[in-house]
Amino acid sequence: MEVHSLRPPFLLYLYIVLFLIQIQLSSSSSSSSIMRVLPLKTEAIPSGSLFSRLPNKLHFHHNVTLTVSLSVGSPPQNVTMVLDTGSELSWLRCKTTLLSQPVFYPNRSSSYAPISCSSPTCVNRTRDFSIPASCDSNNLCHAVLSYADSSSSEGNLASDTFNIGGSDVPGTIFGCMDLGFSSNSEEDAKTTGLMGMNRGSLSLVSQMGFRKFSYCISGYNFSGVLLLGDSNFTWIAPLNYTPLIQISTPLPYFDRVAYTVQLEGIKVSDKLLQLPKSVFEPDHTGAGQTMVDSGTQFTFLLGPAYTALRNEFLNQTTRVLRVLEDPNFVFQGAMDLCYRVPSGQTSLPQLPTVSLMFRGAEMTVSGERLLYRVPGETRGKDSVHCFTFGNSDLLAIEAYVIGHHHQQDVWMEFDLEKSRIGLAQVRCDLAGQRFGLYN
């Protein structure tokens, strides 16, 4: 499920430098035998950059995006792609309406090859697309990505050489897209496309043969680390694993190539919300799955679970926080629990923790990750802070989505071989130091 930003108040980018460290784990030359260790850092991007206006499958925003710097083509062209565990098809912008937008030029690459609509790739490997691939007038494989806000992007499938971490991966399949957007801003978008990393056959992690990847986003200084490949690093922390949920029968509202886990309960401090298990289970249409998605900032819960969490968090913060009494203000269309905090106040009061209880693992959100200060929003001398859990029902989506804001300082391991996700609470900046990425 592609999840991107839609006109956020500002944008922070976590830049992944992909040429630093390669560790050979065995004598095999396959990409799955190599672990690549990659650092993360942040850069502030002004609002109005083009990427904040790319199509959205879900109607919500996010302000932090994981981005990957690499090169594509022969000779290589530098590109920056958003790392999205909720998307299958990687794509690059090949045409643009603004000179300031970064673009990949296929006519400058001798290794670029368009894919015909009769090829096995087009016929067999696009079945998980929301809209089936088709033939264009040149008999090329044409893909259309459709989004819930009625926007779309489209272009032709092609292959070219991707260079990631100093290693060439020839014949990598991606979309060469003509987005056709106009913009009121001349700010450089600084992103050329999107890197799909879900479980689909055309995702980059599938094409490269990596059976495991991990990332860790620091909540202290926004540094972090990304690992591509397998490694035994038990010194980080013992990982608790939750199995990935898979179904064999296609259902209309179930994304079969998403990283779907089973949410079993929610706690506020030590109080377990009294919700039936059926609230967290997909129904006969597939609606109600729980997806772990790096393409979304915040976490969104279906109505009954969100209402119960909202009410309990409100009840436990009544004496320490002042509620924003403004029924007309709903942050990003889905977050209707907000508070007024004196602008001169340097820290938030002690807040109750919120724990998401998965089958076999638990993710606990605490402190400042529970409230988000809304940029530019004030009431008198108070700033506005909103609860970082939103209501999926207000977005007209039929799923739980675990965003990366709540994955800060959590080691996230995506184990495709054993079909599971591992979690552990860690200091991501310290983990980066252990890998030699920071002083």
* Higher pLDDT among residues 348 and 61, named by residue: 348
**For residue 54, pLDDT beyond 50:** no
Distance CA 151, CA 5 (A): 13
**For residue 87, pLDDT beyond 80:** yes
Distance CA 381, CA 322 (A): 13
Short-list 401, 355, 344, 412, CA closest to 378: 344
Query: Rounded mean pLDDT of 77-95?
Result: 88
Most confidently modeled range among 59-63, 235-239, 319-323? 319-323
Are the beta carbons of 177 and 83 closer than 8 angstroms? no
Binned at pLDDT 50, 70 and 90, residue 229 comes out as confident
Contacts of 321-330 with CB under 8 Å at 24 or more apart are 321/349, 322/382, 324/379, 324/384, 326/379, 329/377, 329/384, 330/394
Read off the pLDDT of residues 250-276 as tens digits, 9 standing for 90 and up: 898 999 999 999 999 999 999 999 999
**For residue 150, pLDDT beyond 50:** no
Read off the pLDDT of residues 14-24 as tens digits, 9 standing for 90 and up: 333 332 333 33
pLDDT at residue 104 in the model? 94
**Least confident piece of the model among 204-208, 286-290, 293-297:** 293-297
* Higher pLDDT among residues 186 and 108, named by residue: 108
| Omega within 30 of 0 (cis) for the link into 349 | no
Enumerate domains of the chain plus CATH numbers: 11-210 (2.40.70.10), 240-434 (2.40.70.10)
Q: Mean pLDDT for the chain?
A: 80
pLDDT at residue 98 in the model? 62
Read off the pLDDT of residues 395-438 as tens digits, 9 standing for 90 and up: 888 999 999 889 988 999 999 999 999 999 988 877 766 666 65
Q: What is the DSSP string of 300-334?
A: EE-HHHHHHHHHHHHHHHTTT-EE---TT--BTTT
Binned at pLDDT 50, 70 and 90, residue 69 comes out as confident
Other CB atoms within 10 A of residue 281 CB: 14
The residue written with tokens 């991606």 in the block is: 174
378 beta partners: 383
Are the beta carbons of 359 and 242 closer than 8 angstroms? yes
**Least confident piece of the model among 208-212, 219-223, 235-239, 424-428:** 219-223
pLDDT at residue 20 in the model? 30
Short-list 402, 426, 418, 336, CA closest to 374: 336
Q: What is the DSSP string of 371-386?
A: EEEEEEEEETTEEEEE
Binned at pLDDT 50, 70 and 90, residue 237 comes out as confident
Short-list 85, 76, 30, 55, CA closest to 203: 85
The residue written with tokens 């697309």 in the block is: 129
Binned at pLDDT 50, 70 and 90, residue 178 comes out as confident
Helix (H) or strand (E) holding 206: helix 204-208
> Annotated active-site positions, please?
84, 293
Contacts of 371-377 with CB under 8 Å at 24 or more apart are 371/339, 372/298, 372/331, 372/405, 373/341, 374/9, 374/331, 374/338, 375/9, 375/10, 376/9, 377/329
Across 208-244, b (16+ Cβ under 10 Å) vs e yields: bebebbbbbbbbeebbbbbbbbbbebeebbebebbbb
pLDDT at residue 35 in the model? 65
Binned at pLDDT 50, 70 and 90, residue 153 comes out as confident
**For residue 140, pLDDT beyond 90:** yes
Binned at pLDDT 50, 70 and 90, residue 346 comes out as confident
